[in-house]
């Protein structure tokens, strides 16, 4: 990607370490890093750089990691962005599947890799790995459900990334004077799009690893005159907990929400607060498979249409596939930000399998003007704390020796585990299920088993503490056909 800012203008501020870098300095740092990485580059017929060396990057919110990110994009090396907290077990599994030729910023080198020139920010394989044969200009590989350790990755091209960044700049009116807060993970498509769009606009990105409930977060916002904040559904819970609705926030221009649905009540509450002080709440809809963001609802429309996610970004369009009598069907999206396809291993990298239209897996409807409302998911993929978690993967993790069922609710993963030692209770009414739940939780042996399940899931899913809630039951509820009655479980978690 090109760095659009004036050379003297501040490009990045590491708010946690009080380090700032101008666009001119950033360009020089990237150029020097490209030389040090030593990646071999060719140029395609379109003039774009291509490199057959597959890279892993543990993406911390630091200037150094962003320099690495821009360097690998500059040479056209397909790069997998990873959570820096990814376990050694998962890194080893991904390395075996994808065989990267360069690993950057990994806290622990995987098996078969050693540091380059005694530098512990670069690792190369101890055995030679051939380059990837690229059929397309894949730039990034981003996880679809990395928190379950699933190696399936979304492949995004330079065109995907550049177009979506420009579309976001246009939709949000990002000017060079903007100071956007990058407080969401950069290995997450929404968080990365904040960085990409602000670099595209020649604006300033303020980096932090702090969360809104940590003491330094709001002081950092004031100190660096932050003008915009991205938010996922759980962010609003944290905003309320720390009293954001009573804050002045004189520099803030807007809050931009994406990453999953937020209740109309919460949308209305924050919209009224922001509007009263001349600020905006913008609602957006996106998926990693569409690079990041697909639509926006302006602040002016939020009051009347708080359940909507707005209109497609520039050069994008929605259609509803096979709508029912209420106009609800699968949301299909077309645009230049639609991914190349998925990769499940090294042999898939650079192979295009998706052309033009994306089946989102979401259900929704649109009015005659194209304003979209998302009503639910077709599959069992949940968004928890902004991360996508495949509930079927959760059950598979436990399924080797546990009869279990997983549902999502209230930013938590709820796992119901069959424990035949418990006294059976009828499933006919919700009240009896709730009573049964409490009895199960108070049983000492069941509680001990539940703790073991929680520990195993949090280790494998790599999610924040207290994300997983386990309830032991004497047996799982079933439908008349003998399948797990998920509806009963969803009624319990609310």
- Between CA 32 and CA 455 the distance in angstroms is 44
Q: Tell me the per-residue pLDDT of 322-337, one tens digit each, with 9 for 90 and over.
A: 998 889 899 999 999 9
Domain ranges in the chain are 10-377, 381-493
- Between CA 79 and CA 40 the distance in angstroms is 14
Cβ-contact 195, 205 below 8 angstroms: yes
CATH of segment(s) 381-493 = 3.30.300.30
Determine the pLDDT at residue 201: 96
Determine the pLDDT at residue 443: 52
- How far, rounded to the nearest angstrom, does the alpha carbon of residue 476 sit from its chain's CA centroid? 31
Rounded-to-5 percentages of helix, strand, coil across the chain: 30, 25, 40
Residue 389, C-beta contacts closer than 8 angstroms, at least 6 positions apart: 145, 147, 148, 381, 382, 383, 408, 413, 461, 463
Determine the pLDDT at residue 442: 46
Determine the pLDDT at residue 401: 47
Reading the block at residue 442, the tokens are: 């108070």
Query: How open is the CA angle 325-326-327, to the nearest 5 degrees?
Result: 90
- 157-161, long-range: CB < 8 A, 24+ apart: 157/340, 158/1, 158/48, 158/73, 158/76, 159/336, 160/291, 160/336, 160/337, 160/338, 160/339, 160/340, 161/1, 161/73, 161/196, 161/291
At residue 339, what are phi and psi to the nearest 5 degrees?
-55, 165
pLDDT lower than 50: segments of the chain: 145-147, 400-401, 424-442, 481
Determine the pLDDT at residue 430: 34
CATH T-level topology, domain 10-377: Rossmann fold (3.40.50)
Range list of H helices, 140-188: 158-172
Reading the block at residue 246, the tokens are: 């009573």
For residue 272, the number of C-alpha atoms closer than 13 Å in the C-beta half-sphere is: 8
Determine the pLDDT at residue 327: 94
Query: Whats the size of the chain, residue-wise?
Result: 494
Residue 358, C-beta contacts closer than 8 angstroms, at least 6 positions apart: 287, 289, 290, 332, 333, 334, 338, 339
């Amino acid at each position: 990607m090109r760095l659009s800012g004036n050379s003297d203008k501040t490009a990045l501020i590491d708010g946690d370490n009080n380090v700032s870098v101008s666009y001119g300095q950033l360009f020089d740092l990237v150029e020097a890093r490209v030389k040090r990485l030593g990646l071999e580059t060719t140029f395609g017929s379109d003039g774009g750089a291509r490199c057959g060396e597959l890279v892993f990057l543990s993406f911390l919110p630091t200037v150094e990691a962003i320099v690495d990110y821009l360097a690998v994009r500059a040479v056209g090396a397909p790069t997998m962005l990873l959570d820096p907290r990814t376990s050694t077990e998962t890194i080893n599994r991904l390395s075996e599947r994808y065989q990267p030729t360069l690993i950057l910023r990994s806290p622990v080198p995987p098996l078969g890799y050693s540091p380059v020139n005694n530098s512990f920010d670069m690792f190369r394989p101890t055995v030679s790995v051939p380059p990837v044969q690229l059929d397309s200009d894949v730039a990034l590989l981003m996880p679809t459900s990395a928190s379950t350790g699933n190696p399936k990755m979304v492949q995004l091209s330079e065109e995907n990334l550049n177009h979506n960044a420009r579309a976001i700049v246009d939709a949000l009116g990002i000017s060079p004077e903007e100071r956007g807060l990058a407080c969401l993970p950069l290995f997450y498509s929404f968080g990365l799009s904040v960085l990409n769009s602000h670099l595209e606009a020649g604006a300033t990105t303020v980096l932090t690893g702090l969360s809104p409930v940590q003491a330094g977060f709001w002081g950092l916002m004031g100190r660096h005159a932050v003008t915009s904040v991205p938010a996922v559904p759980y962010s609003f819970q944290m905003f309320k907990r720390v009293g954001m609705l009573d804050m002045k926030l004189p520099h803030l221009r807007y809050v931009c929400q994406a990453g999953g649905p937020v209740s109309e009540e919460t949308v209305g509450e924050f919209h009224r607060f922001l509007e009263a002080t001349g600020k905006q709440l913008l609602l957006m809809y996106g998926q990693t498979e569409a690079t990041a963001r697909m639509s926006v609802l302006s602040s002016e429309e939020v009051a009347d249409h708080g359940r909507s996610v707005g209109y497609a970004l520039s050069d994008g369009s929605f259609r509803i596939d096979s709508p029912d009598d209420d106009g609800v069907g699968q949301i299909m999206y077309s645009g230049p930000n639609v991914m190349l396809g998925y990769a499940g291993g090294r042999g898939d990298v650079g192979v295009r399998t998706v052309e033009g239209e994306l089946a989102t897996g979401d259900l929704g409807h649109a009015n005659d003007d194209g304003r979209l409302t998302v009503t639910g998911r077709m599959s069992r993929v949940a968004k928890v704390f902004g991360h996508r978690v495949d509930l079927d993967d959760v059950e598979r993790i436990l399924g080797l020796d546990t009869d279990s069922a997983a549902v999502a609710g209230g930013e938590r993963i709820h796992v119901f585990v069959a424990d035949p030692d418990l006294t059976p209770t009828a499933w006919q009414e919700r009240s009896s299920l709730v009573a049964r739940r409490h009895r199960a939780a108070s049983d000492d042996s069941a509680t001990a088993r539940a703790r073991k399940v929680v520990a195993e899931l949090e280790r494998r899913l790599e999610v924040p503490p207290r994300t997983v809630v386990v309830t032991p039951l004497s047996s799982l509820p079933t439908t008349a056909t003998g399948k797990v009655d998920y509806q009963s479980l969803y009624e319990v978690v609310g």
